[in-house]
Chain A
């Protein structure tokens, strides 16, 4: 037994050392940042949740998978030592290392927490039991799956899909399952009662997994595990991959077909005829009724133009906290339909802008968000504006002026039209929704004029009216925007870029005199180091203080993979002079910052100095 232990330690010493170093580092970092988390015990909870399963996986992989896949198990079996002993040594060694490591982490967390958090023996015992149960479960699972050799990835994949499926079904949230519940945040804050049933269930599952491990390893003189550890043949790999993809597609198909109840607003004014629209009463009932009828009429025109089947559902809710020209779409995880919000009672409420936003939101919903993908989003934004403003010359004039100003702002940098066609989300972020919608309207109305109504209608139908399947098949059968343009007889993206470049120049020249009257003050953001390691961000806005009109500072801390920033995610500070953002930032934080100023001539907010940058 000692020889086996020594062999295992010697064989895996570098990996174990690296793992322990990583754990120490993770523990140090989380404890260092524990101040922001509320308690050093939260740091321990994070370590248990992330590092225990990771370590269990590494240990199982080193102790079991490596032995069987390397066929060295066969050599071990020729020696005078029983399979049970070999397996027991491996299991116990891994478990001991994992439990010791977690105990050390708990000890460190308790040391740091001493004096800051109330640490009673009862509380410490509860935390220890909860985390130990979870560690046992994680390790037993990793060890058992490790014994399945070449099928271990398949099993992990299946487990993952099952967990996601059950979680998505909404019947049993994963965080409430006994093993996961034990290490949820309640582990830190629950001081009175130990969730005994969750502990028992978790330990029972762990014990069951251990029994299954030994049964699998010892069955048929160990030959089953040896057979499982042979490498997959190409045919087997193909079969597994195809089955797995089929399973995921099947799951998404079933999930996509699951009917969701429609969103229903009880106290609302409803459209008198046409497609059903419900508007919540924010101010007068008459105004709400008027808006409901207008929206219903817009939807009827949309339905007619795009030849859409069935009446679409739309609900509009009043939200006085928003600006007059700010609109939001609600996320509905458990209901179906489109719900949009705006400040109907605000004196600056942009009714036409909201109607266009509602139409765009409905098309997004109808196309299962495909119409909002970056390559075709300008068409969606512009088409909604185009449809609403089609019979409103005053609105068209307003949009034309905004579009010309947007083009002027955009053409400060080369390749503006190319960016508008190929990187619309960046352009939209730079200009803000008001100017971006106007520019999109200009692009779409120019395209409609150039191609003629029948071809433009065909293009709009192919891009905006298609409702793809609500599952993985949707991504398989997307023909691509360039092909849709060609199919409708519209110019290709390269030609569109050239046309829009000319259009932007011409529009600016046409409205040069008016555009010169619109102020374009400069805005600037700078990071300055504070006394500690944090930075504060200063903003300045010209012309000099005292003469500056009111403006808004928008900012948002960007996540590592963050794409489009949702409007409601932007934090806002209103000001009339230079100042400091009400937050501190660590070095390396990625920020989005912009200044918005309401312009009377344009009738909406103009976004300036929008940029993504790193604090340093």
Chain B
């Protein structure tokens, strides 16, 4: 069973088309990286999955249940960390834990304490007195303590410095390994996604441009340098400039004339090609 399935999902904010027929699948137990530029539709997708917004069209299935009207029981199985957590400023980390915990039957108080210690979050400091990074880590602890089956992270490291980001990512990885939780996180930092995610989805202008494993993405998209007359044949699609996309088998079958250089690209180059291309998705 897939943890998340989005089928032709559309959502508008007034005149702005945030999602335009988005299709996406997140498998159970995997760490899924959701890549896209600012305004591509990442946050909207995660909010739809949390039931904070309602889709105009399409179907959304989370943990096997439709989220047309998000039932409380389903929400209890999901952990969510948003970009800028709006905690009650007067509450300490401990008080927040007690408050949030009362909404989850699966809340694990000792686990919350352990997470706070592990993530180095002071328990008796008020949220208003915490740095952005500490607040994000507190958000992660609050999201993990009820032992959710699905963890949704919306650009969790956006406000963190490089050291804090590395620490956060390491801890997230080890926690995911420990608990076996399905993690879907959005980011526009390609390196971070490359480090953490087993599979990625690239979204642009509300549409999914690629979904699959990072390795597979690398074998599909390559740069062809050589004579312009030596254009690839059927099955190849030009993403941008000299970057092309095709099935892995086609790359192997193509009989490249002498002088043609077929180059494997970094994930960042591939992301840039997807992010800037105007071509129809493969």
Contact among B50, B53, B87, B102 for A72, CB-based, below 8 A: B87
Is the beta-carbon distance between A3 and B50 smaller than 8 angstroms? no
Cα distance A223–B44 in the bound complex, in angstroms: 13
Task: Count B-side interface residues using an 8 Å CB cutoff.
Answer: 21
Cα distance A11–B87 in the bound complex, in angstroms: 13
| Chain A residue at minimal CB-CB distance from B81 | A78
- Beyond A71-B86, A79-B75, 6 additional contacts (C-beta under 8 Å) are A72-B87, A75-B88, A78-B50, A80-B103, A221-B52, A221-B53
Q: How far is the CB of A267 from chain B (nearest CB, A)?
A: 71
Cα distance A77–B70 in the bound complex, in angstroms: 11
Q: How far is the CB of A414 from chain B (nearest CB, A)?
A: 59
Residues from chain A with a CB closer than 8 A to the CB of B104 are 80
Which of B80, B82, B87, B99 has the largest number of chain A CB atoms within 10 A?
Answer: B99
Interface residues in A58-83 by Cβ distance below 8 A to B read 70-75, 77-82
Residues from chain A with a CB closer than 8 A to the CB of B50 are 78
Residues from chain B with a CB closer than 8 A to the CB of A70 are 86, 89
Is the beta-carbon distance between B86 and A79 smaller than 8 angstroms? no
Q: How far is the CB of A79 from chain B (nearest CB, A)?
A: 5
Is the beta-carbon distance between B103 and A78 smaller than 8 angstroms? no
Q: How far is the CB of B84 from chain A (nearest CB, A)?
A: 9
| Chain B residue at minimal CB-CB distance from A78 | B80
Is the beta-carbon distance between A223 and B53 smaller than 8 angstroms? yes
Known: A2-B102, A80-B76, A82-B72. A75 touches B86 (CB 8 A): yes
Q: How far is the CB of B208 from chain A (nearest CB, A)?
A: 23
Cα distance A72–B88 in the bound complex, in angstroms: 6
The answer to whether the Cβ of A122 comes within 8 Å of any Cβ in the partner chain is: no
The answer to whether the Cβ of B281 comes within 8 Å of any Cβ in the partner chain is: no
The answer to whether the Cβ of A522 comes within 8 Å of any Cβ in the partner chain is: no
Which of A73, A78, A81, A223 has the largest number of chain B CB atoms within 10 A?
Answer: A78
| Chain B residue at minimal CB-CB distance from A80 | B75
Known: A7-B99, A79-B100, A80-B104. A74 touches B53 (CB 8 A): no
Contact among A3, A73, A80 for B72, CB-based, below 8 A: A80
Cα distance A511–B86 in the bound complex, in angstroms: 83
Is the beta-carbon distance between A79 and B88 smaller than 8 angstroms? no
The answer to whether the Cβ of B215 comes within 8 Å of any Cβ in the partner chain is: no
Is the beta-carbon distance between A81 and B72 smaller than 8 angstroms? yes
Q: How far is the CB of B175 from chain A (nearest CB, A)?
A: 19
Cα distance A80–B79 in the bound complex, in angstroms: 10
| Chain A residue at minimal CB-CB distance from B98 | A3
Q: Which 9 A-B pairs have CB atoms at the shortest separation, nearest pair first?
A: A3-B102, A80-B75, A71-B86, A75-B86, A80-B76, A80-B72, A74-B86, A78-B80, A79-B103
Q: How far is the CB of A542 from chain B (nearest CB, A)?
A: 69
Is the beta-carbon distance between B86 and A81 smaller than 8 angstroms? no
Is the beta-carbon distance between B103 and A81 smaller than 8 angstroms? yes
Q: How far is the CB of B138 from chain A (nearest CB, A)?
A: 11
Cα distance A221–B88 in the bound complex, in angstroms: 22
| Chain B residue at minimal CB-CB distance from A220 | B54
Interface residues in B5-58 by Cβ distance below 8 A to A read 50, 52-54
Residues from chain A with a CB closer than 8 A to the CB of B85 are 75
Residues from chain A with a CB closer than 8 A to the CB of B82 are 74, 78
Q: How far is the CB of A149 from chain B (nearest CB, A)?
A: 15
Cα distance A82–B72 in the bound complex, in angstroms: 7
Residues from chain A with a CB closer than 8 A to the CB of B53 are 221, 223
Q: How far is the CB of A88 from chain B (nearest CB, A)?
A: 14
User: What per-residue 1/0 map shows which CB atoms of B105-130 lie under 8 Å from chain A?
Assistant: 00000000000000000000000000
Cα distance A3–B104 in the bound complex, in angstroms: 11
Cα distance A71–B103 in the bound complex, in angstroms: 20
Residues from chain A with a CB closer than 8 A to the CB of B102 are 2-3
Residues from chain B with a CB closer than 8 A to the CB of A11 are 88, 90
Cα distance A524–B270 in the bound complex, in angstroms: 98
Interface residues in A186-241 by Cβ distance below 8 A to B read 221, 223
Which of A2, A71, A221 has the largest number of chain B CB atoms within 10 A?
Answer: A221
Known: A7-B99, A78-B80. A221 touches B54 (CB 8 A): yes
Q: How far is the CB of A221 from chain B (nearest CB, A)?
A: 5
Interface residues in A1-26 by Cβ distance below 8 A to B read 2-3, 7, 11
Residues from chain B with a CB closer than 8 A to the CB of A79 are 75, 100, 103
Q: How far is the CB of B45 from chain A (nearest CB, A)?
A: 15
Residues from chain A with a CB closer than 8 A to the CB of B87 are 72, 75
Residues from chain A with a CB closer than 8 A to the CB of B76 are 80
Cα distance A82–B75 in the bound complex, in angstroms: 10
Cα distance A223–B50 in the bound complex, in angstroms: 14
Q: How far is the CB of A216 from chain B (nearest CB, A)?
A: 17
Can you sample 6 A-B contacts with CB below 8 Å? A3-B103, A72-B88, A75-B85, A80-B103, A221-B52, A223-B53
Contact among B52, B73, B99 for A3, CB-based, below 8 A: B99
Is the beta-carbon distance between B103 and A77 smaller than 8 angstroms? no
Q: How far is the CB of B78 from chain A (nearest CB, A)?
A: 8
Cα distance A616–B53 in the bound complex, in angstroms: 66
Q: How far is the CB of B153 from chain A (nearest CB, A)?
A: 12
Q: How far is the CB of A138 from chain B (nearest CB, A)?
A: 28
| Chain A residue at minimal CB-CB distance from B82 | A78
Cα distance A199–B103 in the bound complex, in angstroms: 40
Q: How far is the CB of A83 from chain B (nearest CB, A)?
A: 10
Cα distance A78–B90 in the bound complex, in angstroms: 19
Residues from chain B with a CB closer than 8 A to the CB of A71 are 86
Residues from chain B with a CB closer than 8 A to the CB of A2 are 102
Contact among A78, A81, A82 for B52, CB-based, below 8 A: A78
Q: How far is the CB of B195 from chain A (nearest CB, A)?
A: 26
Q: How far is the CB of B244 from chain A (nearest CB, A)?
A: 41
Residues from chain B with a CB closer than 8 A to the CB of A80 are 72-73, 75-76, 103-104
Q: How far is the CB of A69 from chain B (nearest CB, A)?
A: 11
Residues from chain A with a CB closer than 8 A to the CB of B99 are 3, 7
Interface residues in A505-542 by Cβ distance below 8 A to B read none
Residues from chain A with a CB closer than 8 A to the CB of B72 are 80-82
